[in-house]
Amino acid sequence: MLDSRTKIFGIIGDPVVHSLSPVMQNYFMKMFKINGVYCAFRIHSNDLETCLKGAPIMGFVGLNVTLPHKYAAAQTATFSSPEVRLLQVANTLQFKQDGIHAFTTDHYGFIASVGEHRARFSGAQVLMFGAGGSARSVAFALSQLGISALTIANRNESKAVELARFCQQNLAMTNVAAISINHPNLSHFIDQATILINTTSLGMYPIINEAPVALFTSIGKKHFVYDLIYNPLMTRFMYEAEKRGATVKNGLDMLIYQGLASLNIWSYEDFRLDINSFNELKSLLYRELK
C-alpha cells in the first residue's frame, strides 16, 4: 500500500511511454518488499534542469535517465562515479543531502547478461554496429571481457572513429578499427568476427524490418549475435542470424540487470533475482511488449 513513507523513483526521457522500467522496477519493489513506487516522466530537454532541481525537493530517492538526457544528466550531477567520469553518460541518479550522484549501469547490465556465453568473449574478435551512447557502454564492457579486437561500424563513420579513439585512449584497447556500416566489404568483417553486436536502433519497433546489415550470408554457426534491442524480442538481425546457425540473444536480460543495479545503488542493497523470479519478470515484460 502506498502511504506517506512511500519512496518515489522514476525514469525520465523523451519519449518514455514505451519504457519497460516502470513494470520492471515496480516488480522489484514488490519482490524485495520496498515501500516504493516507480513512474515514467516525459521530460523535454529544456525542462531537464528544472526537473533535476525539483525531484529532490519532492522527495525523489532516485531516477533512471534515458535518451536524450544521459549526457546532460552526467554533466548536471554534483558527484559522478568513476564510470560516469570515464563514459560521460549517466543512467542512474541518486538524490542525497549533498547533491545529485550519477552512476551508469549499462556496462554492468551487458556483462551480467552475457552469463553462460562469457567464455566466448575471451580473445574474441568483435564487430559492433553503432557508435552511440550504448555502444560506448558496451565497448567498456568488452574491454573488461577480454576481447582481442574490436571493429566499430557506424552510419556516421566519424563517430565510429571517435569511439575507436576513445577505446584506445581510455579503455586500453589496442586493436580497434572504425568503418562505415555501409562498407562495401562488410561481409569480410563479419567473417573475421565471432561476435556481432547491434547497438544501433535499426530493427527496433515500429520499423522492425530493418537490420544493421543488408547481406546475412556471411553469418553462420560460429557467430554469437547480440542485439541490444528487446522490442521486438526477435529482431530481423537475430532471426536471419539464427536461421543461418548463429546463437542469438536480445537485450532484455541486459535491461533487467542494469535496472536491478540501479535499484541496488538507490537502496544500498545487493538484491538478486533467483531464476524463477527472473523468468517471471521476463514473462511480465514479454506481455508488456505484446
Q: Which is nearer to ligand NAP, 94 or 200 (CB)?
A: 200
Cβ 64 to ligand NAP, closest distance in Å? 11
Cβ 97 to ligand NAP, closest distance in Å? 30
Amino acid at 63: L
The CA-based dihedral angle spanning residues 205, 206, 209, 215, taken in that order and rounded to the nearest 10 degrees? -60
In whole angstroms, give the CA distance from residue 29 to residue 10: 12
Cβ 132 to ligand NAP, closest distance in Å? 2
Q: Does 208 bind ligand NAP (CB under 6 A)?
A: no
Q: Does 135 bind ligand NAP (CB under 6 A)?
A: yes
Q: Does 11 bind ligand NAP (CB under 6 A)?
A: no
Q: Does 22 bind ligand NAP (CB under 6 A)?
A: no
Cα-based angle 97, 98, 104 (whole degrees, multiple of 5)? 100
Q: At what angle do helices 252-267 and 21-31 cross, to 10 degrees?
A: 50
Amino acid at 54: G
Q: Does 138 bind ligand NAP (CB under 6 A)?
A: no
Q: Which is nearer to ligand NAP, 164 or 229 (CB)?
A: 229
Q: Does 20 bind ligand NAP (CB under 6 A)?
A: no
Identify residues 251-290 at the interface with ligand NAP (CB under 6 A): 251, 254-255, 258
Strand partners, 149: 125
Cβ 134 to ligand NAP, closest distance in Å? 3
Q: Which of 7, 33, 70, 243 is catalytic?
A: 70
Q: Does 232 bind ligand NAP (CB under 6 A)?
A: no
Torsions phi, psi of 220, nearest 5? -150, -165
Q: Does 105 bind ligand NAP (CB under 6 A)?
A: no
Helices H / strands E in the chain, number of each:
12, 12
Q: Does 227 bind ligand NAP (CB under 6 A)?
A: no
Q: Does 133 bind ligand NAP (CB under 6 A)?
A: yes
Terminal-to-terminal C-alpha distance of the chain:
28
Q: Which is nearer to ligand NAP, 89 or 124 (CB)?
A: 89
Query: Cell numbers at residue 116, please?
Result: 553462460
* CA 123 to mean position of chain CA atoms: 23
Residue 30 falls in the annotated catalytic set: no
Q: Smallest Cα–Cα separation from 65: which of 135, 98, 16, 28?
A: 16
Give the three-state DSSP class for 116: helix
Known catalytic residues are 70
Q: Which residues bind ligand NAP (CB under 6 A)?
A: 67, 106, 109, 130-135, 154-156, 159, 181, 199-202, 204, 228-230, 251, 254-255, 258
